[in-house]
């Protein structure tokens, strides 16, 4: 009887450990997708700028990058993106706090947030769940 209890407790421990590791791997995978999506958006914006006499798409105040409106629609209509990449968990959730066009604390869990009030510059805020090779956990900003 004691042997059975030991086996059951070992199986329970292994199950809990594997679930924790699995969730960490999923979180890191989502962050890798986010960083790849931001790189794709930056390349699309560079191609858009090359073809546009007016510069980057304006967005003041900022907005989430979505396929159906704003900068996402501009990039898709300009044929520099076939599909507009969105955050895997929070495609439409805007940051809760914004200063000078970028997300600031306590914002968390938000879309790819685009801001441009100048035809030659833009800023994209995005949120990473964990610190990894992809970047630091929390709010990250890329600018041109």
Q: What are the residues whose beta carbons fall under 8 Å from the beta carbon of 55, sequence distance 6 or more?
A: 49, 118, 119, 120
Only one residue has tokens 């421990």, namely 13
Q: Is the pLDDT of residue 134 over 80?
A: no
Residue 6 has pLDDT above 80, yes or no: yes
| pLDDT given for residue 85 in this prediction | 95
- Percentage of the chain surpassing pLDDT 70? 100
| Tens of pLDDT, residues 84-116 | 999 999 998 989 888 888 898 887 889 999 999
Mean pLDDT of the chain: 90
- pLDDT value at residue 129: 92
């Amino acid at each position: 009887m004691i042997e059975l209890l030991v086996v059951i407790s070992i199986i329970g421990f292994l199950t809990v450990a594997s679930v924790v590791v699995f969730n960490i791997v999923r979180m890191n995978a989502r962050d890798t997708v986010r960083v790849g999506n931001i790189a794709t958006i930056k390349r699309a914006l560079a191609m858009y700028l090359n073809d546009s006499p007016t510069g980057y798409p304006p967005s003041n105040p900022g907005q989430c990058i979505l396929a159906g409106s704003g900068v996402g629609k501009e990039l898709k209509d300009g044929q520099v993106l076939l599909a507009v990449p969105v955050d895997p968990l929070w495609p439409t959730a805007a940051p809760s706090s914004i200063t000078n066009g970028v997300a600031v604390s306590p914002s968390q869990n938000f879309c790819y947030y685009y801001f441009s009030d100048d035809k030659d510059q833009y800023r994209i805020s995005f949120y990473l769940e964990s610190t990894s090779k992809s970047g630091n956990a929390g709010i990250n900003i890329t600018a041109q």
